[in-house]
Amino acid sequence: MDMQKFCFGVDIGGTSIKMGLFADDGTLVEKWSIPTDLAENGAHILSDIAGSIQEKITQKGMALSSVLGVGIGVPGPVDENGVVHKCVNLGWGTTDVKQKMEALLQLPAFVGNDANVAALGEMFRGGGKGFSNLVMVTLGTGVGGGIILNGKIVHGSNGAGGEIGHLHMRDNEPEPCGCGNHGCLEQYASATGIVRLLKRYLAAHPEAPEVLASPLSTAQAPSAKQIFDEAKQQDALAQKLVEEVCDLLGKALANISCVVDPQVFVIGGGVSQAGDILLSGIQAAYRKYAFHAAREASFRLAELGNDAGIYGCAKMVLE
Amino acid sequence: MDMQKFCFGVDIGGTSIKMGLFADDGTLVEKWSIPTDLAENGAHILSDIAGSIQEKITQKGMALSSVLGVGIGVPGPVDENGVVHKCVNLGWGTTDVKQKMEALLQLPAFVGNDANVAALGEMFRGGGKGFSNLVMVTLGTGVGGGIILNGKIVHGSNGAGGEIGHLHMRDNEPEPCGCGNHGCLEQYASATGIVRLLKRYLAAHPEAPEVLASPLSTAQAPSAKQIFDEAKQQDALAQKLVEEVCDLLGKALANISCVVDPQVFVIGGGVSQAGDILLSGIQAAYRKYAFHAAREASFRLAELGNDAGIYGCAKMVLE
């Protein structure tokens, strides 16, 4: 009988590193996390990961030969050779993560951008199951994205494949985006972006009836969640804002479909917990803007939450 | 010694079908064309092509076993299985071109959208030589596009991959695009689109000094070529229009790079004969809008002209 094989998935974040042990059929056997050590420009991160994996191998009494490899998601641009091109959150400059991890563990390593890897995870075991051409949008503090074609991540020549938070949506945006440009999708459709739209609306129309009638106009620190909750309660101001955000997202996804024409769009990240009001709003706007041949693309909510990354990392190893 | 091998490239257009015989190293041995028979909803097109290929094989005294296959470019959406999803120009409904051509010729057939195939041709032997991740933009009567990743065409799940003429660029566009939407890139950046921008400028600013000073204001039937020619002669009105078109194209290509992050953009089609004034204008606008990691993408003019299609068709067979 063949020996059972395993792999590890590792999703590196700015505060913690999520880790998973997977069976070779993609079943998550165990997950845990370790803190991200940002000291010395993140110099210890990769050896901390290797140490935790070695510990798990020993603890489980696994043979090294039963481990197929390690998949790693990194919050920065990663090219198709597994080289990270600067990762500000971790303090890294250009880093050959694949080569370093293979040297540390004597195991094959596979590296991808965190949002791209999450997209792969959702295709593997989440909202995109059964599809091989998929675009995932992650609406969180920022807006991330991942493009999967023929079951493979589109890394891009500079690791900028799927950077859909930085699609240019509006001319004449006065504030700069975190990336330095002006008018990026992320400036409107992230959790902070939606709140920005609210603040601007309040400032521009302080006496409008929908403003005066809305609890959002007097909220101390309104959140994206609160805006979606009020919209579900038929608050007119909140509904206007949700419509504005969905219109921008639908337009952005319609433009993406003119480039890669995916079968399905998967919407994830914290903001996606708003659920159907968001999904159906984006879908309606998409149908309005999309090229006719691509108009019937499917829309799904992400299903794996914070585990999408480790599932995608496992998939990089297993495919 | 091995027998010399060959393949055929076939680029179907609305009035003529361009055909090429290629050696297996990609050298064009001979090219010719036959008229496109639009009678009976294009029912004779595929058998006309098969007949012309068989004639050429006989005429050259070639063994059928020396022919590796036939590549075919079609002016409509083609999925990755070689099925055409409606082709208005030829009168076709959904047509399994791959299967039909293989049955007619008893040779392997490969099918792609004409703009996608032209992109592959430019990668193979033209302005994109040496690159494997490439986006081609064809500025002609319409705006076409082709996306090549890892040396392969991105067909898209509905054959709408690379339909970049239908990127949504402007809200509140009053006229409909040929596709039925409003505000598509093609409405401004095609040969007719540039002339549309001129007419609108003349109507909106009839007494502006740059209008009164420009020969374009009195031209009977101004063309895109004339606008670029006047811009090269420092005509202020023409320069404004060229800048507007380049800004739109640079913005569109920057958005494409947030999706697939190519190494190079290749600009082709009749409008690209304007040359450097167009290429450098697009590149400058692109650098302004692009995500920082992708800002240094290369820009090239297409080199194969009307032969790009047959070269790309040959490449589909030879790869």
Which of B147, B164, B180 is opposite residue A292, by nearest beta carbon? B180
- CB atoms inside a 10 Å sphere around CB A1: 3
pLDDT score for B128? 97
Q: Burial-class residue B182 by CB neighbours within 10 Å (0-12, 13-18, 19+).
A: middle
Name the class of domain A134-303.
alpha beta
Closest of B224, B68, B215, B207 to residue B143, by C-alpha: B224
Taking CB atoms and an 8 Å cutoff, what residues of chain B touch A179? Answer: 291-292
What the block records as the tokens of B305 is 């002209």
Homologous superfamily of the B6-125+307-318 domain (CATH)? ATPase, nucleotide binding domain (3.30.420.40)
Low-confidence ranges of chain B (pLDDT < 70): 1-2
Tell whether the torsion through CA atoms of B218, B223, B226 and B230 is positive or negative: positive
Q: Is B317 helix (H, G, I), strand (E, B) or coil?
A: helix
- Residue A293 with chain B: CB contacts under 8 Å: 77, 85, 158-160, 163
Q: For residue A318, which of A1, A2, A3, A9 has the smallest C-alpha distance?
A: A9
A139 at interface of B, judged by CB pairs closer than 8 A: no
| Angstroms from A83 CA to nearest CA on chain B | 13
State residue A191's pLDDT score: 96
SS3 B264: strand
Count of other CB atoms within 10 angstroms of residue B218: 10
A258 to B166: CB separation less than 8 angstroms, yes or no? yes
CA B203 centroid distance within chain: 31
Cα three-residue angle B217-B221-B226, rounded to 5 degrees? 70
CB contact under 8 A, B254 and A168: yes
pLDDT in tens, A212-239: 999 999 999 999 999 999 999 999 999 9
Query: Same CATH topology for A6-125+307-318 and A134-303?
Result: yes
Q: Which helix (H) or strand (E) holds B260?
A: helix B236-260
**Residue in A158, A181, A265 to test binding to B, most B beta-carbons within 10 Å:** A158
Q: What is the C-alpha to C-alpha distance for residues B92 and A141, in angstroms, rounded to an integer?
A: 48
Q: Please tell me the distance in Å from B289's CA to the nearest CA on chain A.
A: 7
**How much is the pTM?**
0.94
CB atoms within 10 A of CB B49: 23
Residues 6+ apart with CB under 8 A from A39: none
Q: Is B263 on the interface with A (CB under 8 A)?
A: yes
List, for residues A54-71, the tens digit of each pLDDT value.
999 999 999 999 999 999
Q: Which residues of A touch B136 (CB under 8 A)?
A: none
Domain boundaries, chain B: 6-125+307-318, 134-303
Rounded Cα gap, residues A126 and A137, in angstroms: 14
pLDDT for residue B319: 85
Contact B153/A at CB under 8 A: no
- For residues A77 and A281, the model is more confident at A281
Spatial CB neighbours of B207, under 8 Å, sequence gap ≥ 6: none
Tens digit of each residue's pLDDT (9 = 90 or more) over A237-276: 999 999 999 999 999 999 999 999 999 999 999 999 999 9
Do A145 and A164 touch, CB atoms closer than 8 A? Answer: yes
The verdict on A259 touching B (C-beta cutoff 8 Å) is: yes
Mean per-residue pLDDT of chain A? 96
State whether residue B3 is helix, strand or coil: coil
Structure tokens at A64: 């090294």
Tell me whether residues A181 and B291 touch, CB distance under 8 A: yes
- DSSP 8-class letter at B216: G
Position B88 scores a pLDDT of 83
CB-nearest partner of A149 from B149, B160, B261:
B149
Per residue in B140-154, pLDDT (tens digit) is 989 999 999 999 999
Reduce the DSSP state of residue B78 to 3 states and report it. Answer: strand
Split at pLDDT 50, 70, 90, the class of A2 is low
Listed residue (A26, A241, A261, A256) closest to A123, CA to CA? A26
Distance CA(B127)–CA(B121), nearest Å, equals: 9
**DSSP class of B50:** H
Confidence at residue B180, expressed as pLDDT on a 0 to 100 scale: 94
Mean pLDDT calculated for residue range A283-306: 96
Cβ of A163 and B291 within 8 Å? yes
Residue B132 in contact with residue B154, Cβ under 8 Å?
A: no
3-state secondary structure chain A: CCCCCEEEEEEECCCEEEEEEEECCCCEEEEEEEECCCHHHHCCHHHHHHHHHHHHHHHHCCCHHHEEEEEEEECCCECCCCEECCECCCCECCEEHHHHHHHHHCCCEEEEEHHHHHHHHHHHHCCCCCCCCEEEEEECCCEEEEEEECCEECCCCCCCCCCHHHCECCCCCCCCCCCCCCCECHHHHCHHHHHHHHHHHHHHCCCCHHHHCCHHHCCCCCCHHHHHHHHHCCCHHHHHHHHHHHHHHHHHHHHHHHHHCCCEEEEECHHHHHCHHHHHHHHHHHHHHCCHHHCCCEEEECCCHHHHHHHHHHHHHHC
**Number of residue pairs across A and B with CB atoms under 8 Å?**
124
